[in-house]
A and B are shown apart, each in its own frame.
Chain A
Amino acid sequence: MAWAAKQGVGLSATMSPERGLDWLNLFVGNIQTGFGPFIAVYLTTRGWTQTSIGLALSLGTIAAMISQMPAGALVDTIGNKTGVVLFSVLAFSISALLFAVQPVPLAVYVAEVIHSFSSCTLGPAIAAISLTIAGPAMLGLRFGRNARFASIGNGIGAALMGACGYYVSERAVFFLTAALTLPALLPLLPLARLDYRGAPAGGHDDAPTRRGAPVRLLRDRALLTFAVCAMLFTLGNAAMLPLVGNALTKTVGGEANLVIAACIVLPQLVVAAISPGIGRLAEASGRRLVLFLGFCTLPIRGLLFAMVTDPILVVLIQVLDGIAAACLGVLVPLVTSDIAGRSGHFNLSLGLIGFAMGIGATLSTSLTGWVGDRYGHPIAFASLAAIGLAATMLVWIAMPETRTTRRLLVQNSR
């Protein structure tokens, strides 16, 4: 064990930062799928009532929403991004252990809040490290690779935890998550050697001298438009898969779980396969085009789900979900870095986008539940498709191309 750890440390010390970031994304993806889906079942097996579980989960959601922007601002002020990742990953592990050891209410609430807050610091910190490593011209490709490895990590994590929950116990899932945070620390070694403050010529995302007032950035039209687009997209997207799952349990019967699993896994595979290509396309043909393509899939998917009930077709339609997820996964950090990468408020801006998407996701669930109860599944899918259409049109009408903006800034700063 100690030998293996030593070998691992030796190996990771010789790793290039590029590779290190790949592995970091994979391991973080691993723990980020994590125990979230198991919380409700685990607490139920521990005799928690549905009301108290709902309270604990809402607390986590609210904590995640309100910490998005403060967490982003905090990450902006910290030069050592690997330190942020280290603390966030350790916080994940503490949160998992709090759940596992003694799920009394106070421990669960504290764990939920720690979990939410560290999710909000982890993503932006990894994006900021990517900015440092890749440099402006290669950024699309870098975020494509991030999305690929995160998706592979998600898939492996989901498989491990699912098997663990099924064959061992729900509680073991939380211990497994805590254990899986350890390999996530190894890739930090090659990344820690990078200097995030001694920025090369032209300044970096967090060069303190270039930091302007955050208020001015938050009034930036492109950033706000992007936030509204992202919110609308999530509003139409977040409840779609749960609704598919709900519809499948009624139409498919015995094999529903298998079909639902396929509906979750297939998009992950698509993301892993096409993300680097999406990043390349965003560098070659511009952000607007890729964003538009990704958004287009949502109204199409909603309409198809409204008409199709055959399980095989339903799974195939989920390829569209993978395309959208790959586009969003690459473009959210990419467009944000175009707009705010050199303002010193990159992470704050990512937090803003995350906040907007959080609002969209929360509203999406309640809206879809309400429409679904009243008018049935097809109408619910059609409403999600309509929201997706509105989001797509907004991208087409209002979203500026941000790639040139960044190039201009690069030139200005040189």
Chain B
Amino acid sequence: MIVASRLQGFALLVGATASLLMIAPGVSLAATGARETPTVLLTQGDTPTPAGAPPSSSTTPTAVPQAPKNLEPLAPDESTGVLGKKVVGPDGKDLGLVVDVVVAADGHPSAAVIDFGGFLGVGSRKIAVDWRLLRFAPGRPDWQVLLTLGRAEIQAAPEYKPDAATREMVGPPWEAPPSTAVHE
């Protein structure tokens, strides 16, 4: 009886291993995907890993024989990664997470894509807000991105769809919008 149940356990393990083997192509895809992220960040000053994010093994795929000569320090209290950072409103209430950064042709960020709301994954939606509406405080422990927008404006904002033909972001309220059109 015991031997039989051991065998059954083994059968389960074989099943699991077989399914592991199937994901091998997925793994190599992931490695290339991970390499894409830093190339975008290069324009922001050669960040190998976003500060604050734990060092992940996939971002250092090969040992670099020689460090580049033009290294500049990225002071942790003056710069930071923003992907996955929590966003709070002026009242300090939790709004959502930064999930993407939209950059203009010159490489400067024009909008942040923020994932708002929802319960157990139902009813959350992404909206784009003008980069200038965000306040950052790197250096302070446990800092969160401050979004200077009211809840009403967030709720009225159109959903951001990365593949849509026309995309809109919520612009700053304090000026006549010079270009509320989306930067491609």
Q: What is the interface of chain A, defined by CB distance below 8 A to chain B?
A: 36-38, 40-41, 44-52, 55, 59, 63, 66-67, 70-71, 74, 77-80, 83-84, 87, 91, 102, 104-106, 109-110, 113-114, 116-117, 121, 158, 162, 241-242, 244-246, 248-250, 253-254, 256-257, 260-261, 263-264, 373
Query: B66 at the A/B interface (Cβ < 8 Å)?
Result: no
Which residues of A sit under 8 angstroms from B118, Cβ to Cβ?
A: 245, 249, 257, 260
Give 1 or 0 for each of B64-99: 1 = CB within 8 Å of chain A CB.
000000000000000001011010000000000101
B62: interface (CB < 8 Å): no
Cβ-defined contact, B54 with A80, below 8 A: no
Q: Report yes or no: B57 in contact with A104, Cβ–Cβ below 8 A.
A: yes
Say whether B122 contacts A49, CB under 8 Å: no
Contact of B8 with A257 in the complex, beta carbons under 8 Å = no
Residues on the B chain within 8 Å of A117, using CB: 15-16, 19
Q: Are A253 and B15 interface neighbours, CB within 8 A? A: no
Interface contact B29-A253, CB-CB below 8 Å: no
Which residue from B23, B34, B57, B123 sits with its C-beta under 8 Å from A109? B23
B42 within 8 Å of A by Cβ?
Answer: no
Q: How far is the CB of B164 from chain A (nearest CB, A)?
A: 8
Residues of B within 8 A of A (CB): 4-5, 8-9, 11-12, 15-16, 19-20, 22-23, 26-27, 29-31, 33-34, 37, 50, 52-54, 56-58, 81, 83-84, 86, 97, 99-100, 115-125, 151-152, 155, 161
Given contacts A104-B57, A260-B119, contact A45 B97 (CB under 8 A): yes
Q: Chain B contacts of A113 at CB under 8 A?
A: 16, 19-20, 22-23
Q: State in angstroms the CA–CA spacing of A45 and B98 once bound together.
A: 9
- CB pair B23–A63 under 8 Å, yes or no, is yes
Question: Are A37 and B120 in touch, CB under 8 angstroms?
Answer: yes
**Residues on A with beta carbons closer than 8 Å to the beta carbon of B31:** 105
Cβ–Cβ < 8 Å partners of B57 in chain A? 104
| Minimum C-beta distance from A321 to chain B (A) | 12
Contact B119 A261 (CB under 8 A): yes
Min distance, Cβ A309 to any Cβ of chain B, angstroms:
14
Instruction: Please give, as numbers and ranges, the residues of chain A lying within 8 Å of B100 by CB-CB distance.
Output: 49-50
A253 B155 Cβ-Cβ under 8 A:
yes
A sample of 8 inter-chain contacts (CB < 8 A) reads: A41-B97, A49-B83, A67-B15, A87-B12, A106-B58, A109-B23, A109-B27, A113-B19
Q: A83 touching B9 by the CB < 8 A rule?
A: yes
**In the complex, which residues of chain A have a beta carbon less than 8 angstroms from the beta carbon of B5?**
80, 83
- Specify which of A52, A55, A67, A264 is in contact with B120 (CB 8 Å cutoff): A264
A59 touches which of B8, B26, B122 (Cβ 8 Å)? B26
Given A241-B122, A254-B151, A264-B119, 12 more contacts at CB 8 Å?
A: A44-B97, A47-B53, A49-B33, A49-B83, A49-B100, A50-B99, A79-B8, A105-B30, A106-B27, A114-B16, A158-B120, A253-B155
